[in-house]
Amino acid sequence: MKKLFLLLVTLLTSLTYAQSINDYKAVIVPLQYNFLKSENQYRLNTITKFNLNKAGFVTFYKNENFPVEYNDRCSLLYADVEKESGFLVTKLYVTLKDCNDKLIFKTRVGKSKQKDYSLAYMEALNDAFKSIYELQYKFTGAILKTESKVMTQIAASPSVNVSTTLPIIAVDVKDPNLLYAQATPTGFQLIDSTPKVIMKLMKTSQPNSFIAIKDAIQGSLILKENQWYFEFYQNDKMISEKVAIKF
């Protein structure tokens, strides 16, 4: 079992750190940037979406209804534009992050000496996007291919039943702490409504028990009395936290 766990961790680590922008299916554009006071101020969000489309990405605003093939939020990138301070110069750069808020790509700083804010922001942002055009993005489906390979390797292990049926449990969909389960090659990942990955689950031979990893804490997710609990040791004391999950 220990060897199997190490195999799972190794495969998950490889999957997480071997990613480039070509692995992602689309980009989500926010409605407002933190350094501005209103949604789409100076049309920067529109300009961002336009440039991403021009660079070859499929893009959606954060509040759009996504087609079903884009429902897996961790197959998407999340765009942001940030401002650097500068004397008489407007400086902006673009970041692309994954669903875990991990930085996948950051552009060079775009600059403008225009005095008019609208012109300065537009010029600086377009200048920053030159870095993204240079990448010559083309979706390769690498995440899907890698997941398929990992699934094959995990399924080949006789110690893990990857097709185990989960118990059906009623949940309160209005619970603000409710986490949503997304299937992965080794089990599930639990995301909140942001969406942000909160916990990763790896299947065991029992349908009511998972190896669970939350931040740097490793423990177990166990079903008891129709409720899931994340259990782990802290300072030699076992901690049990109730977790609301919609599978």
Give the pLDDT confidence of 126-155 residue by residue, as tens digits.
999 999 999 999 998 655 454 445 444 544
| Mean pLDDT of the residues in the chain | 83
The model carries a pTM of 0.55
3-state secondary structure of 143: helix
Query: Is the pLDDT confidence value at 43 over 80?
Result: yes
What domains can you pick out in the chain, each with its CATH number? 19-135 (3.40.50), 158-246 (no CATH)
Give the pLDDT confidence of 195-225 residue by residue, as tens digits.
788 999 998 888 889 999 998 889 999 999 8
pLDDT at 166: 64
pLDDT at 83: 96
Angstrom CA distances, 246 to 112, 134, 143, stand at 48, 41, 24
